Structure 1
Amino acid sequence: MSTFTALREQLLAAAAAFADGPDTLPEILTGLVDDVDRALSEELEIFPVCHHSPASALAMTRRLREKRPKVIYLELCEDLRPLLEELRNCRLPVALQAFATELEGFPPDVGPLSVVAPITEASAEYQAIAYALETPDVELVLVDHSSDHVFQWLPRKPAEPVAPARTGEDDGDGGLHGDAVGIEVGDLRPRFAELEEHLLRHGKVRHWSEWWDQYVEQPLTGADHDTYRQAMTLVGSLFRRLSPGGDRLARDEDRERHMWTRIHEHLASSGTDPAHCLYVCGAFHAVSTVPEFGLASTARDYTVTPRTATRWLYGLIPSSHSAIETQFGLAQGSVSIAAATWAKAATRGGVTPYRLGGQRGTRSRAARAADPAPPEPVTDRLSGFLATPPALDGLDEAELRGWCVDIVRLARRNGYAASTADAIAVFETSILLAGLRDRARPTPYDFQDAAVTCIEKDAVPGRRDIRRLCEILLGGDRIGQVGYHSLPPLARDVYDRLEPLGLDLTKRTQQRALLDLTVDPELVPCSDLLWKLRYLLPEGAVRPIMGTRRLGERPIQESWDIAIGRHQRSIIELGYEGVTVEQVLEQRLRRRVREPRATAGDALAAVEDAILYLDGRRLADELGNRAVELLAAERTVDDAPEVLRRIRRLLAHYRATQPSLPAWCEAFVTAGYAHYCTLLPTAFVDDDTGVRQVGATLGFLFGMESLALSLGCDRAQLELAVRQSHPEAPAKVALLWAAKTQLGLLPRAELRARCDELLANPLVIPSFPLYLSGFVQALEPIPALAPFVVEVLSKAFARLPDPVLLPWLPTLITTLRRHALELVPVLVREAGRTFPAGLAELDAWVPPWAGPASVPAPTKAVRRAPGGPVADLLAGHPQACDAVAALLGHPAVWPTPAGGTAVGELLARHPATTGAVAALLTG
């Protein structure tokens, strides 16, 4: 006769009384009892647990002290076993991590791959781990899939779980696990929304964590071992039988087959008596229906698939309560409340938890493995547990009063206008809410709701809302830390090299470091390392307050904000990529220029970074050669502004520091000259190519022209490209005119005449600002055009009507602001030379482009001065002679038929000047 016959009959009677439809309900109810009976009758003791459950941790601690098992089979990735020894050097919570960047056998777009398994003290798995590692002759065997198999079941990168939104302070600790796939022991939650919504509505709770605490945690906290096992197995069976199936259930069944296969293999190879063993798994897996379930099973056809060739790296990373909540979709503050419940229940129940020796504030609690007592027969504890309401604790007025006083004090510190009356209101409201929810005593969730209602009201004066303050009061977001000796070599090297700064890098607070590199030259290596870490680590880990690092610059003093302790996970993951920071930086630079979407600008940026941070000529040359390849492969000039800016800076650096340019620089200039000459006609007519890109292309061609010609390029190629360009957009037309002027294909006088013609044409005036934009962009490739651009801008401001000019001004301002380093200094410098320096001179000031028109033209009766063709030339162009005479301080009086004058004498005394002017005018 079955142990649970009476319970089965009661459930069948209830099903017959309440169900008037098909036989689904009786089948489910009897199936639950069958699952419990089968799991508890198994020769190998199965211990069902739930992830981060205080009740599971307490029951596990009690059972370990009673049974003293010699072998513990634990549901955890089997390849994480070597990491467990490193937990001694850590402060919980931390997470076991498997990390892979070089993938083989997985799609390349899913990397990097990361698996984490968080460990907290208030968890059954930690109690089992601590017992096994601290007790002599106890073996701990991890039997779940390896990290590689986890991703074999997930060929594509999974979506991150949606976490409850924080309304107050967010310290960023919820992202400690990044986008890693989380592994938890005992994932126990309804797998379809209808059941969860039904339980929450009838349980009068807001979220699943509160329901679990109310109806499972609290009743099972003080339960004996048999009652706990039967109740937890029943919950696991309920959720399993109501599971919708599909791929997730198939993955679970594959894991269960893997775990039982590993158990069978270990028992066969070790010869261990199953009575000395304990199998710790989630309650969902305790009622598995796979053929391999149980020691009596003869199914041995399951074959563990081989791992891929992916190279996995392992380590420990810091974790936190909020990170666990975020990753596994738990309610905000639920893990902190579970930790507080665990501490209180352990103290009240007289349970001494197992802890690993070496952890902060703990001592080793070793236990001697002993022969277990004969197993007692399984009795039906479930009927009485389900039929009897749980004996909940009554109201603990001292505890609740302390919470109320402390939350008011904490609220006042954070800007709330809270008082003693609010403390009384929170106390009474907590009791009222617990009564409305059929609770004998207020839970932390009731207290949170009451505090929000009575204190927060309608405003949050600071960073933290009342719900966040309640979390802090009830235990806070505890954040773990990986000890120095458990860090990878790279992280330990970082800590050692930054030791001269005199800072405690294990602190999570932000610390200020002041470096006087002249007084303390031994701090220069620290400065170099900080700049490399700033390049590699996320924003905020190390932040320069004073000091920069650019080509050709070395700061004398630096000031840094350092928060390495807060970003310990990032440093640990750097250790997976290399042994030193320099090695990781070199690998990333190489990977950066080899990416499919890498451009020539990216490669030049990598060259600059290699010079700044690694000071290595070999690596810079390698990256530079890659830049030449990428430039030759480009089919557009979209990257031309970035290429021009960076190659100018690199050429200036090499000319200032090296006796000659590197070979890759010369190859880049010659290849770029030919490449951009080829693309220039297309860029001028392509509507998708902006004026900025075309201007940068011309800037490269004109700026690098002298170097390119010295290296063997042909200037005729550029002239031919310009002649073949026929743009239609006004801005590009202006750029083309400027380029032709620079090449001598379009005289300056003709360019000025064209612009004057545009200003005089009423049909063209609305589009004239577009021509101006092109001329402004031409300042970068042709700085000598600055006087003409100032002239055109002045004429535009003087002649364009306001309806045309005013809408264009914002475009001009944004253009100048966007390119302030290149365009504004040229314009300002030329305007300073052109316009008067003071207001007093403004009234009499005549623009240079209007000067010749104001000088009276010579009369036709001027007699030609003797002297041949030179005199005839000067007489035909008197303005030039007038200007020279004015510069030399002589009056400009021309000879009359009566005889010679001062001008004639001046020209006779300075024949060289006269010849030079004549040569200019005739040349």
Structure 2
Amino acid sequence: MRGQLHEAAAAFADGPGALEGILLGMVDDVDRAVREPLEIFPVCHHSPASAIAMARRLREKQPKVVYLELCEDMAPLLTELRNCRLPVAVQAFASEVRGFPAEWAPLSVVAPLTEASAEYQAIAYALDTPGVELVLVDRSSDHVFQWDRRAGDPGAPAAPQGAPAPAEEEAALHGEAVGVEIGDLRPRFAELEEHLLRHGRVRHWSEWWHQYVELPLGDTDHDTYRQVMLLVGSLFRRLAPGDPHRVRVDEDRERYMWTRMREHLSATGTDPADCLYVCGAFHAASRVAEFGVDGTGGFEISPRTATTWQHGLIPSSHAAIEAQFGLAAGSVSIAATTWAKNLRRTRVEPYRLAGQAGAPKTRTKARKTAAAAAAAAAVPRAGAPAEDRLTGFLRQPPVLDALDEAELLGWSVDIVRAARRNGYLASTADAIAVFETSILLAGMRDRARPTPYDFQDAAVTCIEKDSVPGRRDVRRLVEIMMGGDRIGQVGYDALPPLARDVHDRLAPLGLALEKRGVQRALLDLASRPELAACSDVLWMLRRLMPHGAARPIMGERRLGGTSVQESWDLALGTHQRALIELGYEGVSIEQVLEQRLRRAAWDAQARAATVLAAVEDATLYLRSRRFADDLGTRALEVLSGERSVDGAPEVLRRVRGLLAYYRTCEPVLPPWIESFVKTGYAHYCTQLPTAFADEDATAGQVAAMLGFLFSMEGLALSLGCDRAQLELAVAQCRPRDPSKTALLWAAQVQLGTLSRQELRERCDGLLANPMVVPAYPRYLSGFVHALEPVPGLADVVVEAVSNAFARLPDPVLLPWLPSLITTLRSGAADLAPLLIREAGRIFPGRLEALDAWVPPWRQPPAAAAPAVARAPRGAALLRTHRSTGDAVARLLGWEGSWEPAAAAPPGAALLTRHPATADALETLLTGA
């Protein structure tokens, strides 16, 4: 072979130079790997040919130690694979990072496994064969991020150029995890891949590999398979671009693995001849000094960071694997179909973990047949010696499989049936067209037998036409028909404690929560009070998990309220990965929720509204008064340090809700909320003049501040606050914005410094001024926002709007009307119902009454009735209870006498000034 490659280099190049060095170097790489005492088994990820060759070799060699290219910290999880239905992914997850930048969190590394993968065959053999040791030798999950620190995003490979977008949501099962795979066999030299695709007459790399490597290697012997894979790995390695970072990471991985293997051999004294090293073909053709059991070099493995890694199994799918590793859509499903065909054709018995979920049962007869086939495969083929089989394999012409008309006809009928179910107007004629077009395309691509990719192109051409009537296009239908997007599942025994606890606590619902899809749960809490515990779990899951995992249809969870019946749509099986990752954060959902609330409350960027939301969640879901009080104290600290009013609306809403809850459900208010109201009153009084003048502060935010001050005023004054502080703050406000000016007027009305009649006159003056009319909608917006702190102004706002419609001419009103509507909709949508109710109260309810209707603000004031001197109604009450009257008088600082000569009792003047209060008090005490 060396001589033939030398002649080829001289013929195709100007002389034996660089090309000769590459070609002969490939032969050297193959020769070096083949002569290594520790047998190297090169594989390609999710390759049926690699899996078949692996199963054969394991039954023939029966190694005592299997070294596997997989993160060494994932080893304890592999025994749990038997409790799962493949495909699944082994995951290392870290939510809190130490030694890495905080913005990298969370860190996640996954290694997906399918049955049609050589690494799964090696794992199943090692775990189920007595006396066999499985050793993972690749870098740890921590080193993945240590060595792959890219600018801005560590260890997260960029999406492959030209990779097809996933068609289903299952493509996101791995999330944003970094993928670790065995056998990344894809040219890193773009021009080489383009050359191979063009001359191979294929569309993408997956199709090229299937046609020119996967199918020919499916029937070869072990030596030929091994040499071809080493040759391909060496070719791609030598033609890879010289990216220093990528080269360094690849070589460091190889040094790491060989160092770990030599350490194990030295510690155990195992004979290298009894070992098997399973790695990607790219790494098998390594040229580092540490290569081999006799390698040199003193590679030092850096220590791991202080990051705590959690490990578990998460569900995977064919689409997720394709999306993460840049494979063509449907390629993994086609590989699974090819794997099943190879098993039937070669009669090789694959290795499966005992009790593997979803694995077919193996019969004794099949075992005997497989053993005989393995023994036959172990016998070298007659002809060329083992070291020269590679030359014969490369020189032989491709085998042109005969057309399997029955198979192709079945595909054509099935795709037409599937197309009709998805809304296509397909018929028998389309099935015939797909059949003939598949043969035509295969012939144009120098193939006697159409591949699934030829059939897919033919189906798209003949059926899809120019539109897609349903949710799936024809290309996706072909992928489903060829095997579909198989989705794995992690069994109950392999789940983390939190996930098992959730399943146990929801068991009374009687649902198969491990199944994918949406299930309806009905909870009649009145007749079955024991389901209240399930309701608590579901509400916490809704708070912690992604949307759709637990979605309430009927029922609510609010402060002070309970539901009698609840209805839920549950999809925990579909969101199993999210539930498993919750298990990395704690042993129960209560613990995870408390940790998250603490993290949010004590975050450096936390706002008072955020902490108050945490207080509400702690009360709703955890029912922990102690924890809620701790969070409330933290809210007080955060509010004291805030210098902006951005969160004022949210603070007002949540404080009102918490106050209403504590007043109705608790005997006394918690000390923290009293302090919060007192501090908030002083805080917002201080910031009020600045907020009115600040252009960045919106009218809604200023209205929320006023709402806090006015609605909490009674409680704040009882706690020792001074109303003069609020009066001074309002007096110092100098707004320039029309909406804030209207807010200031409303605040002055509430404080009594501006009468309602003066406010009406100011509004009339705005309408009378042509220069101000264009800005009138902004004044109205301010008035609507003023309903938050001063809801009693609703009638004045209705009057202001009505006067505008009554007085403005159409040329002014019509252009102004859209601005008014958009202003009210965008700025005060939640306050509009109050305005509408007030308008419904003022305006007539019948259309015929509208002509004779006179607005209340235009009606003449009623004549004042002549004053009739009478003794205050409370005078007799005071005389009857003199001691009480004396105590009130002394409290108010009134000095008087009960002498008969006195014109009135000591409190008479007070009663005369405030007769309504006296009347109400007398009615309350006497019932009159």
For normalisation by structure 1, the TM-score amounts to 0.90
In structure 1, what is the Cα distance between the partners aligned to 2:177 and 2:93? 9
Give the Å deviation of 1:752: 2.0
Look up the equivalent residue of 2:719 and give its one-letter code.
L
Determine whether 1:779 maps to 2:787. yes
Structure 1 runs not aligned, ≥5 long: 1-6, 859-863, 871-911
SS of the counterpart of 2:789?
coil
- The answer to whether the 8 Å contact 2:778/2:823 transfers is no
Give the Å deviation of 1:838: 2.7
Task: Determine which of 662, 678, 689 is the counterpart of 2:686.
Answer: 678
SS of the counterpart of 2:716?
helix
1:901-920 alignment, distance < 5 Å: none
Sequence identity percentage: 70
Look up the equivalent residue of 2:139 and give its one-letter code.
H
Moved more, 715-724 or 327-336: 715-724
Give the Å deviation of 1:836: 2.6
Which residue is 2:449 aligned to? Answer: 441
SS of the counterpart of 2:109?
strand
In structure 2, what is the Cα distance between the partners aligned to 1:690 and 1:440? 72
Q: Deviations over 1:623-668 (max 9, x none)?
A: 1111111111111111111111111111111111011111111111
In structure 1, what is the Cα distance between the partners aligned to 2:533 and 2:916? 62
Task: Determine which of 210, 215, 218 is the counterpart of 1:218.
Answer: 215
- The answer to whether the 8 Å contact 1:356/1:362 transfers is no
Q: Deviations over 1:573-616 (max 9, x none)?
A: 11101111111111111111122322111111111111111111
Which residue is 1:85 aligned to? Answer: 79
1:164-243 alignment, distance < 5 Å: 170-243=167-240
In structure 2, what is the Cα distance between the partners aligned to 1:593 and 1:554? 26
Task: Determine which of 45, 56, 61 is the counterpart of 1:51.
Answer: 45
- The answer to whether the 8 Å contact 2:740/2:782 transfers is yes
Which residue is 1:466 aligned to? Answer: 474
- The answer to whether the 8 Å contact 1:163/1:327 transfers is no
In structure 2, what is the Cα distance between the partners aligned to 1:813 and 1:781? 22
Task: Determine which of 569, 576, 584 is the counterpart of 2:592.
Answer: 584
1:59-70 alignment, distance < 5 Å: 59-70=53-64
Look up the equivalent residue of 1:191 and give its one-letter code.
R
Q: Judging changes above 3 Å, is the alpha-carbon distance between structure 1 residues 346 and 101 closer, same or farther for their aligned structure 2 residues?
A: same
In structure 1, what is the Cα distance between the partners aligned to 2:268 and 2:831? 79
Moved more, 526-535 or 390-399: 390-399
Task: Determine which of 60, 75, 78 is the counterpart of 2:69.
Answer: 75
1:749-828 alignment, distance < 5 Å: 749-814=757-822, 816-817=824-825, 822-828=830-836
SS of the counterpart of 2:466?
coil
Which residue is 2:265 aligned to? Answer: 267
Look up the equivalent residue of 1:187 and give its one-letter code.
D
Task: Determine which of 473, 489, 498 is the counterpart of 2:497.
Answer: 489
In structure 1, what is the Cα distance between the partners aligned to 2:22 and 2:160? 31
In structure 2, what is the Cα distance between the partners aligned to 1:704 and 1:683? 19
Which residue is 1:451 aligned to? Answer: 459
Which residue is 2:335 aligned to? Answer: 338
1:607-622 alignment, distance < 5 Å: 607-622=615-630
Q: Judging changes above 3 Å, is the alpha-carbon distance between structure 1 residues 194 and 916 closer, same or farther for their aligned structure 2 residues?
A: same
Task: Determine which of 125, 128, 132 is the counterpart of 1:134.
Answer: 128
Look up the equivalent residue of 1:234 and give its one-letter code.
L
Give the Å deviation of 1:192: 2.6
Give the Å deviation of 1:364: 8.0
Which residue is 2:559 aligned to? Answer: 551
Which residue is 1:704 aligned to? Answer: 712
Which residue is 1:283 aligned to? Answer: 281
CA RMSD of aligned residues (A): 2.7
- The answer to whether the 8 Å contact 2:784/2:832 transfers is no
SS of the counterpart of 1:460?
coil
In structure 1, what is the Cα distance between the partners aligned to 2:746 and 2:761? 13
Give the Å deviation of 1:548: 1.4
Which residue is 1:714 aligned to? Answer: 722
Look up the equivalent residue of 2:803 and give its one-letter code.
K
Give the Å deviation of 1:818: 5.5
In structure 2, what is the Cα distance between the partners aligned to 1:567 and 1:373? 45
Q: Judging changes above 3 Å, is the alpha-carbon distance between structure 1 residues 645 and 865 closer, same or farther for their aligned structure 2 residues?
A: closer
Which residue is 2:889 aligned to? Answer: none
Give the Å deviation of 1:770: 1.7
SS of the counterpart of 1:280?
strand
In structure 1, what is the Cα distance between the partners aligned to 2:536 and 2:819? 42
Which residue is 1:844 aligned to? Answer: 852
In structure 2, what is the Cα distance between the partners aligned to 1:806 and 1:739? 31
- The answer to whether the 8 Å contact 1:204/1:437 transfers is yes
- The answer to whether the 8 Å contact 1:72/1:139 transfers is yes
In structure 2, what is the Cα distance between the partners aligned to 1:161 and 1:224? 36
Which residue is 1:148 aligned to? Answer: 142
Which 4+ residue blocks in structure 1 deviate beyond 6 angstroms?
A: 163-167, 364-370, 372-377, 864-868, 914-920
- The answer to whether the 8 Å contact 2:110/2:174 transfers is yes
Task: Determine which of 330, 344, 348 is the counterpart of 2:345.
Answer: 348
SS of the counterpart of 2:859?
helix
In structure 2, what is the Cα distance between the partners aligned to 1:486 and 1:343? 27
1:598-747 alignment, distance < 5 Å: 598-747=606-755
Q: Judging changes above 3 Å, is the alpha-carbon distance between structure 1 residues 842 and 418 closer, same or farther for their aligned structure 2 residues?
A: closer
For normalisation by structure 2, the TM-score amounts to 0.89
In structure 2, what is the Cα distance between the partners aligned to 1:547 and 1:181? 40
- The answer to whether the 8 Å contact 2:148/2:249 transfers is no
Moved more, 420-429 or 743-752: 743-752
Which residue is 1:42 aligned to? Answer: 36
Task: Determine which of 558, 562, 583 is the counterpart of 1:575.
Answer: 583
Which residue is 2:538 aligned to? Answer: 530
- The answer to whether the 8 Å contact 1:164/1:331 transfers is no
In structure 2, what is the Cα distance between the partners aligned to 1:87 and 1:294? 31
Q: Deviations over 1:45-84 (max 9, x none)?
A: 1111010001111111111111111111110000111111
- The answer to whether the 8 Å contact 1:219/1:392 transfers is no
Look up the equivalent residue of 2:332 and give its one-letter code.
V
Q: Deviations over 1:792-844 (max 9, x none)?
A: 11111211233443444445444554577852343233223322333343333
In structure 2, what is the Cα distance between the partners aligned to 1:240 and 1:76? 20
Give the Å deviation of 1:392: 3.7
Which residue is 2:310 aligned to? Answer: 313
- The answer to whether the 8 Å contact 2:774/2:816 transfers is no
Give the Å deviation of 1:141: 0.6
Task: Determine which of 74, 98, 106 is the counterpart of 2:100.
Answer: 106
Number of aligned residue pairs: give it. 862
Q: Judging changes above 3 Å, is the alpha-carbon distance between structure 1 residues 515 and 162 closer, same or farther for their aligned structure 2 residues?
A: farther
Moved more, 21-30 or 579-588: 21-30
Q: Deviations over 1:286-337 (max 9, x none)?
A: 11111100122232x1111101111111110000000000000100000000
Look up the equivalent residue of 1:144 and give its one-letter code.
D
Give the Å deviation of 1:98: 0.5
- The answer to whether the 8 Å contact 2:549/2:574 transfers is yes
Which residue is 2:425 aligned to? Answer: 417
Give the Å deviation of 1:865: 9.4
Look up the equivalent residue of 1:682 and give its one-letter code.
T
In structure 2, what is the Cα distance between the partners aligned to 1:414 and 1:843? 60
Q: Deviations over 1:657-707 (max 9, x none)?
A: 011111111111111111111111111111111111111111111111111
SS of the counterpart of 2:387?
coil
Look up the equivalent residue of 1:147 and give its one-letter code.
S
